[in-house]
Amino acid sequence: MAEVLHIIGGGMAGSEAAWQAANMGVDVVIHEMRPKVGTFAHRTGNLAEMVCSNSFRSDDDERNAVGLLHWEMRAANGLIMEQAAAHRLPAGGALAVDRDPFAESVTAKIKAHPRISVVYDEVPELPTEGHWIVATGPLTSGNLAESIRTVTGAEHLAFFDAIAPIVYAESIDMNVAWLQSRYDKGETEEERTAYINCPMNKAQYEAFIDALLAADKTNFHEGETAGYFDGCLPIEVMAERGRETLRHGPMKPVGLTNAHKPEEKAYAVVQLRRDNKLGTLYNIVGFQTKMKYGAQTEVFKMIPGLEGASFARLGGIHRNTFINSPTLLDDQMRLKSRPNIRFAGQVTGVEGYVESAAMGLLAGRMAAAEILGRTLSPPPPETAMGALITHITGGAEAKTFQPMNVNFGLFPPIDAKGGRRGRKDRYKAYTDRAKEAFTAWLA
């Protein structure tokens, strides 16, 4: 009897995974809990419901990493991109869609596919047999989350993200900042110089605290808060608790000597820690925040050394269920301890509709290939999909793993020696290289 692929969750990732696998000739069953079991963010029983914004972000496939992901998904006959195009709304360079007709059409296309059936029920436990993809998203049901925790270990499943801003290493002014681990701790030179440090004097610190207190903050969505602040307070909340709190917390200056001005003792120090193996991205340690994006760029550029910083992603705190993929998944997105189960979508620690659908596309193709007796290698890391899957299944630092958007910092650097090309030309070089590699991979 032909083997069936079961997919838990009919969101962005699950719908795309089903479409891809079915088009490769594999029978698929989607198990979707809505409308029987709801979430605080979904409103309908449609597949691929957009829970908040109606935008798939930039559609510029030449100079933007998300736009490149759109291009790759279109090249791979992605359902989400096909239906996004069919329901596109005017939005400048962004791909915005009419959300309800979009989700209704995805649902109709899936239901009309002769190889896909949809069962409307919650799957409460990780299955032990058969081919499965878990694509249950940031609001995975409580029962299934508990089962994942039991199988993977409690420390490998998070219920919210606490994202500190991530900065492109090349945009940090190393004439001001310096490399050093606190108290020069570490066995190797690499460990002793693992952090980038940005010093502040008293006046700079006071101005920074004033800016934090005055900055515009975002509100939590209804149902999002549920007691998850312990151990990861937003920096602006720390600042509200007292002007000195940060100086005794993530901005403490102890154990650090300014390499450029060894005689000057910093009043406070902002530390950045490497965020990927490539060393192209650094996160600002302990700087999770609910400040609005515009406010974040303004406030963080007040930090000496970060005046010209480019951000690969800004900070945030959200209700978000995700696994520690770098520890748990192999490069086929299979759970190492139960290889009959793949994970896809936001639950793997990618962030956003587009990234989630892209990981669904890959998981669907990989699972179908396996059922058909073949192995499909992941796309090369020079492609947007390849960069993302490489990041979540090994490139990211497992200890500090937090959800990630696609961005050029995840790609192997281009033109590393010359580096004189303008940023726009460099991004074009990234996307040209990616398109060639993706086309070859598809073939």
Residues that bind ligand FAD (CB under 6 A): 8-14, 31-34, 39, 41-42, 51-53, 122-123, 135-141, 144, 221, 319, 345-347, 352-353, 356
Tokens 């409307």: give the residue: 120
Smallest distance, ligand FAD to C-beta of residue 163, A = 12
Contact (Cβ atoms closer than 8 angstroms) between residue 137 and residue 129: no
Minimum gap (Å) between residue 168 Cβ and ligand FAD? 21
- Rounded to whole angstroms, the Cα distance separating 38 from 42 reads 7
Q: In what order do the strands lie in the sheet with 178-179?
A: 178-179, 195-200, 268-274, 281-284, 166-168, 311-313
Tokens matching residue 50:
């957009």
**14 vs 386, beta carbon nearer ligand FAD:** 14
Find the shortest distance in angstroms from Cβ 32 to ligand FAD: 5
Q: How far is 11 from 24, CA to CA, in rounded Å?
A: 20
Shortest Cβ distance from residue 228 to ligand FAD (Å)? 13
The strand pair at 116-119 and 27-31 is best described as parallel
- Which residue number, 102 or 205, has a Cβ lying nearer to ligand FAD? 102
Query: Nearer Cβ to ligand FAD, position 102 or 353?
Result: 353
Complex with ligand FAD: residue 53 or 337, whichever CB lies closer: 53
The smaller minimum CB distance to ligand FAD, of residues 25 and 35, is found at 35
Taking the complex as a whole, the smallest distance from the CB of residue 54 to ligand FAD amounts, in Å, to 8
Helix or strand holding residue 157 (H, E): strand 157-163
Residue nearest to ligand FAD (CB): 11
DSSP state of 331: T
**Cβ-based nearer residue to ligand FAD, 35 or 255:** 35
Give the whole-angstrom CA distance, residue 253 versus residue 246: 10
* Dist. CA 329–CA 267, nearest whole Å: 42
Q: Taking the complex as a whole, how short is the minimal distance between the CB of residue 191 and ligand FAD, in angstroms?
A: 35
- Asked if residues 117 and 4 have their Cβ atoms less than 8 Å apart, the reply is no
